[in-house]
Copies of this chain bind each other. A is one copy, B any other.
Amino acid sequence: MPTAYITAPTDAAAELAELLVAERLAACVNRFPCTSVYRWEDEVVHDEEIVLLAKTTDSAWGELVERVEAEHPYDVPCIERFDEDEMLEEFGAWIYEEVE
């Protein structure tokens, strides 16, 4: 089952996480504060951001991506999918229940 790795600005992250859970596109979202380092106009900058890890299902994945793209303040947001190799069966069942 997919975990979505999404970065968001600090002032948009809580709302984005809430929307994914409220619309049943994710069972839960873990929000982590981080500092992002990247190149901007030939300078290396350090920016406060939030990483969201959203737990969802195969069949909700496509809609989650569309929703994040539509709501996200960046033109090209970081949205990556990582599938776990194994998980506690009851936890997987809970994700299904919450999302589908």
Contacts and interface: CB of A to CB of B under 8 A. Distances in A.
Contact of A18 (B37, B65, B88): B37
A88 B78 contact: yes
Interface string A2-45: 11010100000010011011100001111111111111000010
Q: Majority SS of interface residues in chain A?
A: strand
B98 A39 contact: yes
Nearest to A55: B78
Interface in A37-83: 37-39, 44, 46, 49, 51, 55, 61, 65, 69, 76-83
A76 B98 contact: no
Contact of A30 (B20, B22, B34): B34
